[in-house]
Amino acid sequence: MRYGFVNNFAQALAAPLAEGSTTLSLDGGGSLLSNAGADLGYTLTLFQVDDQGEETAREIVLVTGVSGNDLTIVGEQEGTVRPSGGWLAGTKVEARLTALGLISLDFRNASSIVLGEGAQNDATNCLAGGRYAYNGKSGSVAWGDGASTWGQYSASFGRNAATNADSALAGGSGALASGLASVAWGSGCQVSGDYSACFGGQGSVSGARGTAGGYTASVSAQWGAAYGYGSSVSGEHGLAMGHNAAVYQSEGIAAGNGASSNAGQAIAQGAGASAFGARGVATGAGAQAAEDSSAYGGGADASGGKSCAMGANSTAQPPQSSAFGADTISANVGQTLLGYGAGGSAVPGGLIVHGLAHLVSTPTHPADAAAPAITRQSAAQVVIATEPLNLTDDTAAVELALPSGALLFIDGFDVVVVGSDGAGGSPEISIGPNDVTPAEYLASTPVSLTAVGGRESHAPLVANGIASLRVATTVAGTGTTYQAKVVVRGYVMEL
């Protein structure tokens, strides 16, 4: 039985109330109690007042039905009794708060509490608050217009919020928690996975033990987690963090605005990053990685299988290739490029290093270094090629200049023919530091070979370190195309 309450209800008996009578007639006010019935009652107190205004007799009755101003009652409630001879017409009748009415609001003692029009509990130890709020299982709370619980020990808060499983919690307009021990918190949020949780409007979790946080965030695989507006996880054990971040396969990670992990165990970090191959790693805005590949840096592209690109806009598209440095581009299978802007080779498996190996003037050796100190006093020998020299023009020249503070110690010169079309004649070249002393390093020397790839080697005339060199055509050959590069072999030292 639920108990109703009416503020400031005060009437009088329109007719005597005999002992044992179950019908009471009022002089008005019956309409205020018109919804009394089998599951909703009102307690009224009848009382006498003496000449001093003191109440000398009281009876509490329970109203269970109303017809006009005629009330169907159960008399002598809560330990009160009807006076001998009954009550006279004109006896005062009031709606007062009684002990039983208070008990109905005490969670420790009441079987259930209902507050609101049409609210209903069909189980014990429940609280239904709000228009048509409903509890269908024991130990539950439904609070809000149309809120409902259908699972034991569950709770729903908000208009039309609902729980359909035990120990579930729904909060927000239209929120639905239908998974065991699940939480749906946010307008329109829906959780059907057991032990799962969703926080954010229109979010959803259908995978067991999944978590979604953010407007429209969604998780459809077990153990998945999505955090951020529009983020989604459809692969088991996946993690998506950021606006529209997405994980499509198991154990993937996508972190960043629009980041996507499209394959198993793939990791994408950064706005728009994409790891579309299994075990691929793409880190940086717009970075992308294929299967077993790694891309690090904004715009880095490791779209070749088992490739690696490190540096802003570095590219390793052929399989098993590597590009290290901003704007480096690996153009063939198995290539490795090092240094800013390295690229341009068509040699499969080639190594291109855009850096000058040299001996350091004052090497450092930390006390905790594992490698021997001598490793910091060593450097690879260098091979430096000039630009192509036109052997058909006796005014042509090409130059090389070392960085400031470095000297080149030459072991030998190679003259390699790189262009030949009708090449002939007897061209000669000389090498020196400048056009003032053009033959200090190599006197004017004939070039006798004409086929591409032909090589002639010469010893330098200088033993000391040099800072620059100039190669000049001293005698012109003939042909549509006749070109050579001078390759310098030696080592570089910082001084």
Please state, in angstroms and rounded to a whole number, the distance separating the CA atoms of residues 22 and 64.
Answer: 10
What pLDDT is recorded for position 108?
Answer: 38
The alpha carbon of residue 58 and the mean position of all alpha carbons in its chain are separated, in whole angstroms, by 69
Provide the 8-state DSSP code for 83.
Answer: P
Please state, in angstroms and rounded to a whole number, the distance separating the CA atoms of residues 280 and 277.
Answer: 5
What pLDDT is recorded for position 216?
Answer: 96
Q: Roughly how many angstroms between the first and final C-alpha of the chain, as a whole number?
A: 100
Sign of CA dihedral 450, 456, 461, 467: positive
- Residue-wise pLDDT for 428-485, tens only, equals 999 999 999 999 999 999 999 999 999 999 999 999 999 999 999 999 999 999 999 9
- Residue-wise pLDDT for 400-412, tens only, equals 999 999 999 999 9
pLDDT above 70 (res 7): yes
Residue 202 has a CB neighbour count (10 Å cut-off) of 18
Please state, in angstroms and rounded to a whole number, the distance separating the CA atoms of residues 256 and 270.
Answer: 5
| Helix, strand or coil, per DSSP, at residue 22 | coil
Rounded to 10 degrees, what is the CA torsion of 147, 152, 154, 156?
0
| Average pLDDT score, the chain | 94
Rounded to 10 degrees, what is the CA torsion of 69, 73, 77, 80?
60
What pLDDT is recorded for position 105?
Answer: 57
- Residue-wise pLDDT for 327-339, tens only, equals 999 989 999 999 9
pLDDT above 80 (res 102): no
What pLDDT is recorded for position 107?
Answer: 45
* Residues paired with 113 in a beta bridge: 127
What pLDDT is recorded for position 104?
Answer: 62
- Residue 309: pLDDT band (50, 70, 90) is very high
Please state, in angstroms and rounded to a whole number, the distance separating the CA atoms of residues 133 and 115.
Answer: 8
- Residue-wise pLDDT for 125-181, tens only, equals 999 999 999 999 999 999 999 999 999 999 999 999 999 999 999 999 999 999 999
Please state, in angstroms and rounded to a whole number, the distance separating the CA atoms of residues 291 and 262.
Answer: 10
Please state, in angstroms and rounded to a whole number, the distance separating the CA atoms of residues 139 and 152.
Answer: 6
What pLDDT is recorded for position 109?
Answer: 36
What is the chain's Cα-based Rg? 46
And the tokens for 30?
């019956």
- Flag the least confident range among 183-197, 325-339, 377-391, 416-430: 325-339
Q: What is the DSSP string of 319-345?
A: TT-EEESTT-EE-STT-EEESTT----
Sequence-distant (≥ 6) Cβ neighbours of residue 54 within 8 angstroms = none
- Residue 114: pLDDT band (50, 70, 90) is confident
Sequence-distant (≥ 6) Cβ neighbours of residue 344 within 8 angstroms = 329, 331, 352
Phi-psi region of 86 (alpha: psi -120 to 50; beta: other; left: phi over 0): left
b/e map 327-363, b = 16+ CB within 10 Å: bbbbbeebbbbbbeebbeeeeeebebeeeeebbeeee
Residue 122 has a CB neighbour count (10 Å cut-off) of 13
Number of residues assigned to the chain? 495
Question: In degrees rounded to 5, what are phi and psi of residue 148?
Answer: -150, 150
For residues 382-398, average pLDDT: 97
* Alpha-carbon separation of residue 104 from 59, 60, 128, 458 (angstroms): 20, 16, 13, 110
CB 301 within 8 A of CB 287: yes
SS3 content of the chain, % helix, strand, coil (to 5): 5, 40, 55
- Residue 19: pLDDT band (50, 70, 90) is very high
- Residue 103: pLDDT band (50, 70, 90) is low
Report the amino acid identity of residue 84. S
What pLDDT is recorded for position 115?
Answer: 85
What pLDDT is recorded for position 118?
Answer: 85
pLDDT above 90 (res 111): no
Name the percent of the chain lying above pLDDT 70.
Answer: 98
- Flag the least confident range among 224-233, 373-382, 460-469: 373-382
